[in-house]
Structure 1
């Protein structure tokens, strides 16, 4: 019960940010597209750069974002081939993109702080790069492919600054560059701005929730099933193999991977869907429902894993 109440206290402010986002759109007529561009083209690249620059690069640490990036990519393309048989429009692209990632930033990082050692929390934040890179590369491509040709989609991908921010941070890290101390507090402010704006944007996407077929029961079922059942099962299988045969990661990293797998759908999927005009109202509802379900799902899963 104490774990549940602690987690509830972490998540409630996120729901408040969602309500603020809905209020800003409905009553203040704020522009969702402008917020989406700020998140995708300014805040995300800076956060990726800082995390890549500051993490201690070791084999096991580097393995985690690579593993989750590849897993997301595999899930996305397998799901896309499956959903194309069900949906005849770009809903299949959106569903494949969204179910292959999760809210590892806004919800995952507070969970990591709650359940992991401080040194492992830093590794978790670095691993979140896998989600950001997937969402802004493969995921962006799959979603854009619903409206654009392969060439047009590829051009959109290479224009995303988050990819270059990651490469720059990696290169500077290898050469031992350190962030000047005067910018350390500022980087923390940016993380807070990213978290708040990201959750507010989710609420802004709820404005048209009752129009344009947003309530798609099949869409919601598939997205929740893949995110809350398929994801943790795949990670538990890998953890079992590593514990009994590979012995590459320690138990702290195993818990990190499990937490990474049980977060709800990512709010950033709403950002991409809005920019590409691929049914943002539909994914907004699915993300909101998954976030609501996670309030009870996450503490239950962590309890079962650690007991």
Structure 2
């Protein structure tokens, strides 16, 4: 496996923080409302980004098995945290915590690192793992978030209105029918992934621009950090060691799974909370803190894990 140079993380980190800073300036100086941007991300930009990634990846049964495994894992973690959080936190905070528990910044932050550490075949494995996490975000994750404010029926209706689910099915249909998407269409879709990254991180800054010190909830933020930087890394390491002992997985897949386990909190925590109107300010603070900690913690974790899985 490749060694991780801490400098590898600095480029992605400063780029993401610059986007957050732009969002903060937009909220403070231009009084831009981030809610329409969150709606645009969820209902237009995310589905098209997701569709393009699936079509380019060429989903195979093996790749889709990785997607399914990460989807099930994310769902199980979120459900367990949801049950626990409802006993300790108000409804809206527990909903945001449950949503964030099943996901991480696997795309905006993790992908640039994966591109450095993994060969093209390993990056493909990583992307299909990311797709499983993303699918969780816009199905069960969205439902758990919505339940912080809406009834079961209203929450299910909101999920059925999410176009990302249909984008996933459309990509699978394209692959099943061996249909080629026209080059002009694929070229047009190239603008959506960077747009998704830019707007997703700017929303964090826009939300932070409206925060007061009274909204700094250390109990909530501490729970988010513990789940993201204690539960997930240990789970990823355990899964990799277990798979190596039983199935003998490749080094690239092991690295991909470890990366998914050590990335910071997902920016989509803020996007979904903004769309549903459930504690987006607290979610934005937690996302920012875990992102700032990433350059220190990710090399530390991987430096500890890689010898264990390479032995």
TM-score by shorter chain over 0.5: yes
Off by >4 Å, runs of 4+ in structure 1: none
Note the C-alpha offset of 1:2. Answer: 8.0
The within-5 A match list for 1:166-185 is 166-185=168-187
**Alignment of structure 1 residues 40-119 onto 2, 5 Å:** 40-119=42-121
Q: For 1:52 and 1:9, how far apart are their aligned partners in 2?
A: 26
CA distance in 1, matches of 2:252, 2:233: 16
Q: Assess if the C-alpha contact under 8 Å between 1:22 and 1:204 holds in 2.
A: yes
CA distance in 2 between counterparts of 1:218 and 1:263 reads 21
Equivalent in the alignment of 2:258: 258
Unaligned runs of 5+ residues in structure 1 are none
> Does structure 2 conserve the Cα–Cα contact (< 8 Å) formed by 1:53 and 1:178?
no
Could you say what secondary structure the match of 2:288 adopts? helix
Q: How does 1:159-170 map to 2 (within 5 A)?
A: 159-170=161-172
In structure 2, the residue matched to 1:235 is 236
| SS of equivalent residue, structure 2 residue 6 | helix
**Cα deviation digits, residues 174-210 of structure 1 (max 9, x gap):** 2112232223443332111111111111111102221
TM-score by length of 1: 0.95
8 A Cα contact 1:55 1:123, kept in partner? no
1:269 aligns with 2:261: no
SS at match of 1:45: helix
Distance (Å, rounded) in 2 between the aligned partners of 1:292 and 1:155 = 36
Offset at residue 302 of structure 1 (A): 2.3
Deviates more, 1:50-59 or 1:136-145: 50-59
Cα distance change on mapping 1:296 and 1:65 into 2, 3 Å: same
- The secondary structure found in structure 2 opposite 1:27 is helix
1:22 to 21, 24, 35: 24
1:49 & 1:72 partners in 2: Cα distance? 20
Aligned 8 A contact 2:96 2:278 in 1: yes
Q: Which residue of 1 aligns with 2:139?
A: 137
Question: Which deviations, in whole Å up to 9, do the C-alpha atoms of 1:17-52 show, x marking residues without a partner?
Answer: 000001011101112011101111111000111122
Using the alignment, how far apart are the partners of 1:88 and 1:22 within structure 2? 27
Choose 12-21 or 2-11, whichever is displaced more. 2-11
- Residue 297 of structure 1 corresponds to 297
CA distance in structure 2 between the partners assigned to 1:71 and 1:243 by the alignment: 18
Superposed counterparts of 1:173-252, under 5 Å: 173-210=175-212, 213-247=214-248, 249-252=249-252
Question: Aligned equivalents of 2:97 and 2:279: distance in 1?
Answer: 10
SS in 2 for 1:186: helix
Q: Would you say the 8 A contact 2:4–2:302 is kept in 1?
A: no
Aligned residues: CA RMSD: 1.6
Residues 2, 39 of structure 1: alpha-carbon distance in 2 compared, 3 angstrom cutoff: same
Q: How many equivalent pairs are there?
A: 305
Displacement of 1:106 after TM fit?
Answer: 0.4
Which deviations, in whole Å up to 9, do the C-alpha atoms of 1:213-266 show, x marking residues without a partner?
A: 42111111111111111111111111111111123x311111101101111111
Q: Secondary structure at the match of 1:105?
A: coil
Judge which range, 177-186 or 72-81, deviates more.
177-186
Question: Separation in 1 of the partners of 2:242 and 2:229?
Answer: 21
